[in-house]
Amino acid sequence: MGNSSNDPLFAASPWWRSNRGAHLNIQGGRPLVGTYSVSGAKNAVLPLMISALLTPNLVTLHNVPAILDVAVLSTLLERLGVNISWSDGPNGLSLTMCADRVHPMQLDRTLVTRMRASILLLGVVLARCGEATLPMPGGDDIGLRGIDFHVAGLRAMGATVDLAGGVIHATAPNGLRGADIRLPFPSVGATQNLLLAAVLAKGTTVIRNAAREPENTDLAHCLIMMGAKITGAGSDVLTIQGDNPLTGAVHTVMPDRIELGTIACAAAATDGEIFLRHGRMDLLGTAAPVLISAGVVLQEAAGGVIARRSSSGIVGTDVVTSPYPGFATDLQSPAMALFAIASGASTITETIFEQRFRHVDELRKMGASITVQGRMAWVRGVHRLIGAQVTATDVRAAAALVLAALAADGETVLEGLDHLDRGYDRMAEKLLACGAEMTRSDR
Given a contact cutoff of 8 angstroms between Cβ atoms, the answer to whether 351 and 393 are in contact is no
Given a contact cutoff of 8 angstroms between Cβ atoms, the answer to whether 18 and 3 are in contact is yes
Question: For residues 421 and 138, what is the distance between their CA atoms, to the nearest angstrom?
Answer: 16
Given a contact cutoff of 8 angstroms between Cβ atoms, the answer to whether 21 and 440 are in contact is yes
More confident residue, 383 or 11: 383
Please give the order of strands across the beta sheet that includes 92-98: 83-89, 92-98, 58-62, 249-252
Question: For residues 303 and 119, what is the distance between their CA atoms, to the nearest angstrom?
Answer: 35
In 10 A of CB 184, how many CB atoms?
A: 10
Q: What's the CATH code of the domain at 264?
A: 3.65.10.10
**Does residue 4 sit within a domain?**
no
**In this structure, are 191 and 267 located in the same domain?**
no
Given a contact cutoff of 8 angstroms between Cβ atoms, the answer to whether 271 and 31 are in contact is yes
> What per-residue confidence (pLDDT) applies to 20?
67
Given a contact cutoff of 8 angstroms between Cβ atoms, the answer to whether 250 and 51 are in contact is no
Condensed to tens digits (0 to 9), the pLDDT of residues 190-242 reads 999 999 999 999 999 999 999 999 999 999 999 999 999 999 999 999 999 99
**In this structure, are 282 and 248 located in the same domain?**
no
**Does residue 368 sit within a domain?**
yes
Given a contact cutoff of 8 angstroms between Cβ atoms, the answer to whether 404 and 381 are in contact is no
pLDDT at 140 over 90: no
In 10 A of CB 103, how many CB atoms?
A: 10
pLDDT at 139 over 60: no
**Does residue 3 sit within a domain?**
no
User: What length is written for the chain?
Assistant: 443
**Does residue 311 sit within a domain?**
yes
**Does residue 101 sit within a domain?**
yes
pLDDT at 285 over 70: yes
Closest by Cα among 122, 210, 213, 136 to 172: 122
End-to-end CA distance of the chain: 15
pLDDT at 429 over 60: yes
**Which residues constitute the domain of residue 245?**
42-252
> Treating both helix axes as pointing N-terminal to C-terminal, what angle do 395-407 and 257-269 enclose, rounded to 10 degrees?
20
With H, G, I as helix, E, B as strand and everything else as coil, classify residue 60. strand
| Domain boundary residue, one of 252, 285, 317 | 252
**In this structure, are 93 and 205 located in the same domain?**
yes
Q: What is the pTM of this model?
A: 0.95
**In this structure, are 272 and 221 located in the same domain?**
no
**In this structure, are 195 and 234 located in the same domain?**
yes
Type of residue found at 343: S
Mean of all residue pLDDT scores within the chain: 93
**In this structure, are 229 and 361 located in the same domain?**
no
pLDDT at 5 over 60: no
**In this structure, are 386 and 434 located in the same domain?**
yes
**In this structure, are 159 and 275 located in the same domain?**
no
| Domain boundary residue, one of 208, 226, 252 | 252
**In this structure, are 66 and 33 located in the same domain?**
no
Residue-wise over 139-176: b if at least 16 C-beta within 10 A, else e?
bbebeebebebbbbbbebbbbebeeeeeebbbbbeebb
Closest by Cα among 250, 117, 106, 219 to 168: 106
Condensed to tens digits (0 to 9), the pLDDT of residues 306-345 reads 999 999 999 999 999 999 999 999 999 999 999 999 999 9
Looking at the 3D structure of the chain, how many domains does it have? 2
**In this structure, are 87 and 124 located in the same domain?**
yes
**In this structure, are 203 and 226 located in the same domain?**
yes
Lowest mean pLDDT among 37-41, 107-111, 191-195: 107-111
Instruction: Indicate the pLDDT class of residue 443, thresholds 50, 70 and 90.
Output: low
> What per-residue confidence (pLDDT) applies to 114?
76
pLDDT at 141 over 70: no
**In this structure, are 395 and 318 located in the same domain?**
yes
> What per-residue confidence (pLDDT) applies to 22?
83
| Domain boundary residue, one of 197, 225, 252 | 252
Type of residue found at 197: A
**Does residue 240 sit within a domain?**
yes
**Does residue 410 sit within a domain?**
yes
Type of residue found at 100: D
